[in-house]
Amino acid sequence: PSDGDYMLNPEIKYNFSDHVWAAIGANIFGGGEKWSQFGQLDKNDNIYLQLRYEF
């Protein structure tokens, strides 16, 4: 649709070893209208940090 909705999910990942990695990223929402799918989430942007050990 032409509501101008968007969702961005940029992420940077770093491997410390074969089993341990970390990532930092964000979820960015927006839209042209407050009632549209992502427009209603416009003020719910967030950032995250993830650390994972895989075995």
Every domain of the chain and the residues it spans: 6-53
What does the block give as tokens for 43? 């003020």
**Higher pLDDT pick, 2 / 36:** 36
pLDDT at 1: 56
C-alpha dihedral (45, 11, 8, 38), degrees to nearest 10? -40
Q: If you search the block for the tokens 């995250």, which residue do you land on?
A: 48
pTM: 0.77
DSSP state of 45: -
- Residue 31, pLDDT score: 86
H-type helices in 6-53, by residue range?
none
Per-residue model confidence as pLDDT tens digits over 4-51: 899 999 999 999 999 999 999 999 999 888 888 888 999 999 999 999
